[in-house]
Chain A
Amino acid sequence: MNSAVRRGWRMAGAVLAMICAVALAAWAGGSGFGDDDDNSEEEGPSYFGFVRDTNGATVPDAKVTVAVKNRGGIVTRTDLLGTYKVPGFGKEVDPKDVEVSCDKPGYKQLRVVRRSTTSTDPKIPIETECTLQRI
């Protein structure tokens, strides 16, 4: 086999390897970059809920703390509808170790109730309602 033919086979091999690499990436559901944020499989459930007053009315702009026992937590605020949303922590965090509390000037926290669910759908958040009482 002369050198031109050997070079040809080498180039063909390189082209084939490149095509296989691209095809494999596409088959895997992505062609390289930008999928790093999609780590939903490594996340636990997200946390969602309403903050209400003692009349049942929702409370916008209340401070909500979603804390993992002995590990700190995330502070957010309720939106215009009185809801908060916090994305899931890592799967190593047991949802039983996650506590929700709420606060707003002029109010004190009265109770926190976690809604029980029978669903195992990971898309369904853990729902916790926090009730504030006017001081």
Chain B
Amino acid sequence: MRGRAIAGTILAAITAFGTFAALSGRTAAESPFGDPNAEPAPFNPQMGALMSMLIQPRHAKLGLAGSAENWPLAAYMLKELRQGFAVVSKAVPRWKGLPVPDLVDAAVSQPLTLLDFAIKLRYRRQFDEAYAGLTSGCNACHATTDHAFVVIKVPDASAFPNQEFAPKQ
């Protein structure tokens, strides 16, 4: 009986010490998101954030503009999308060791060129084919980089309620 009591007391003491040691590294005022008094850090978005900021919305807007046959907007969004890929390739030249500029080139260069032709010709069918090729390129690249679960598709609705995609009359 007395033996168990001793063991229990030692166990409780060790547990209490462990809990204190674990919590003592962080003061009550500190946030897990950082120190409010620190100098602002340079904004350095990584691949996931860059894709969400620069690529996915521009891909969607390009598709919406093309399906509305708003060719000036489609041309503008194509240029923006190209620039987005250039920014991503420069900001993250290697991702998980893989060469990002080479992957982007293999995935999207050809469909982007075909989209450029389609927009200049104002040719909806060629636009749709090239846009499908661009979308497949995105997904092929996601598969190559072990992100096949991120599946991009031709937009079936606008996520931008404050933007008109139909051509200006």
What residues make up the interface of A, taking CB atoms closer than 8 Å to B?
A: 4-12, 15-16, 19, 23, 46, 48, 50, 57-58, 79-83, 85, 121, 123-125, 127
Of the residues A12, A83, A85, A121, contact of B7 by C-beta under 8 Å: A12
Residues of B within 8 A of A10 (CB): 3
The reply to whether A81 and B3 contact each other, CB–CB distance below 8 Å, is no
Interface of B: prevailing SS: helix
Of the residues A46, A50, A121, A125, contact of B106 by C-beta under 8 Å: A50
The yes or no answer to B34 lying at the interface (CB within 8 A) is no
In whole angstroms, how far apart are the Cα atoms of A80 and B11 in the complex?
Answer: 58
Residues of B within 8 A of A4 (CB): 1-3
Of the residues A12, A50, A81, A125, contact of B140 by C-beta under 8 Å: A81
In whole angstroms, how far apart are the Cα atoms of A83 and B143 in the complex?
Answer: 11
B contact residues, total (Cβ < 8 Å): 27
Of the residues A16, A46, A48, A58, contact of B10 by C-beta under 8 Å: A16
Segment 1-30 of B: residues with Cβ below 8 Å from A: 1-7, 10-11, 14, 18
Residues of B within 8 A of A81 (CB): 103, 106-107, 137, 140-141, 143-144
In whole angstroms, how far apart are the Cα atoms of A5 and B99 in the complex?
Answer: 67
Interface-lining segment among B70-78, B90-98, B113-121: B90-98
The yes or no answer to B102 lying at the interface (CB within 8 A) is yes
In whole angstroms, how far apart are the Cα atoms of A50 and B109 in the complex?
Answer: 15
Residues of A within 8 A of B102 (CB): 50
Smallest beta-carbon distance B102→chain A, Å: 7
Residues of A within 8 A of B137 (CB): 81
Given A58-B106, A81-B141, A83-B106; A8-B97 close (CB under 8 Å):
no
The reply to whether B7 and A11 contact each other, CB–CB distance below 8 Å, is yes
Residues of A within 8 A of B96 (CB): 123
Residues of B within 8 A of A125 (CB): 97-98
A sample of 14 cross-chain residue pairs with beta-carbon separation below 8 angstroms, ordered by A number, consists of A4-B1, A7-B3, A15-B10, A16-B10, A48-B97, A57-B110, A58-B106, A80-B136, A80-B144, A83-B103, A83-B106, A123-B97, A125-B97, A127-B99
Residues of B within 8 A of A23 (CB): 18
- Over the window 136-161 of chain B, the binary record of Cβ atoms lying under 8 Å from chain A Cβ atoms (1 yes, 0 no) is 11001101100000000000000000
Closest to A60 in B: B140
Given A7-B3, A8-B4, 19 additional A-B pairs, CB 8 A: A5-B3, A8-B3, A11-B3, A11-B4, A12-B7, A12-B10, A12-B11, A15-B7, A15-B14, A16-B10, A23-B18, A46-B97, A50-B106, A57-B110, A79-B140, A80-B143, A80-B144, A81-B140, A83-B144
